[in-house]
Amino acid sequence: MRIAFVFPGQGAQKTGMGLDLYEHSENVKKLYEKADQILGFSLSEMCFRGSEEDLKQTINTQPAIYVMSVAISQLLKENGINPGITAGHSIGEYAALTTAGVISFEDGIKLVRERGRLMNEAGIKAPGTMAAIMGMKFEDVKRHCEEAAEAGIVEVANFNSPEQIVISGEIAGVEKAMEIMKANGAKRVVPLKVGAAFHSRLMKDAAETFAELIDKAEFKKPEIPVVSNSNARISMDPEELRSALKAQMLGSVLWVDSIKAMANHGTEIFIEAGPGKALCGMIKKTDVSLKTMNVETMETLEKVINELKN
C-alpha cells in the first residue's frame, strides 16, 4: 500500500484536459473513442476544444473527469507504477473503482453520465448551492449549520482538509450559515460556483433513482483495496463498496478520514491522477509528512516515472 492513486472531483475540469495524453498515447486515444461511442457524442472534442460553459455542466463534467482519470491510471500502470490502494473524491470514486477492477470502464462511463444527469435535474427541481469554510473546526461548522437551518436546509458536505470544510443546501440556508460563520471567526468563507447542492439531502430523489442503476451494475472483487467517501473504510468487499457508493450522493465526503486511513495502513506516496492538483493540497494540509505527486500531462507523467524509478 505504499503508493495510492487518488482521483479528483468536480471543479477540476478545464478546456484542453486530456488532449496532450490523447495525442501521445494510442491507448488513451482508444479510451476516449470508446467513451464517445458509448455516450453517443464527442466527449473528447468537448474536453479538448469545447467551451468552459459546456464543460462545467454537471452532466458533462463528470464523464470528462472520469475518462481522463482512468486514462492516467492506465498510463501509470503501463509504465510500471502500480497502486497498492486507491480512492477518489466524490465523482473520483468511480475512477478509483475502475482502477481497482471493481467496475468496468463501460459501466463506469454510463454510471457517471447518468449520475451527472440526475444531479443536474435535482438542482433544477430543488435549487441549492455550496460554500467552502476555511479555518473553522468541524464541530463549530456543524453547530453553525444547525443554527442556520431555520432559514433553509444546510449541511456539511465535504471534509476536504483540517483547514477546509464545504457546506451544502438550500440557497437561503447556505447564505445564512455563511453569515454566521463569518461573524464567528472563520478565516474565509467562499461561495462555490456549482449548479446544485451536492452531497446534501436535496439530492434524495436523484440518489434513490441512481441506487437502482448501481444495483444493476456488476461489482467484482477488487484487485486492490478501495477507500469509500461515505465511510472512509478500506474495503475488499464488492458489496460493501456498492453500498458505500449508493450512500455517497447524499452523504458527506470524508476525505480527511480517507487519507488518514490510507496513511495508517502504510501509504507514503499519493499520486493525483486527473486534472489539477487540488487533492495534493488537501492531503498536505491533512498530513505534511505525506508525499504528493500529480499527473495530468505527459510532462508530469514523465516526471513522476523518473522520480519513482530512480
Give the residue numbers annotated as catalytic, written as ranges: 90, 199
Complete edge-to-edge strand list for the sheet that includes strand 3-7: 234-235, 226-227, 85-88, 3-7, 269-273, 291-295
Task: Looking at the chain, list the stretches that DSSP marks H as alpha helix, in order from N- to C-terminal side.
Answer: 19-24, 26-39, 43-49, 52-55, 58-78, 92-99, 105-125, 138-148, 171-183, 204-216, 238-248, 255-264, 278-286, 298-309
Query: How many CA atoms does the CB half-sphere of 102 hold within 13 Å?
Result: 29
For residues 28 and 45, the answer to whether their CB atoms sit within 8 Å is no
| Alpha-carbon distance values, 289 to 153, 263, 286 (Å) | 37, 10, 9
Alpha carbons 250 and 62: distance in angstroms, whole number: 17
Alpha carbons 36 and 19: distance in angstroms, whole number: 14
Q: Which amino acid is at 219?
A: F
Cβ neighbours, 10 Å, residue 125: 11
Alpha carbons 306 and 285: distance in angstroms, whole number: 26
For residue 223, give the 3-state DSSP assignment: coil
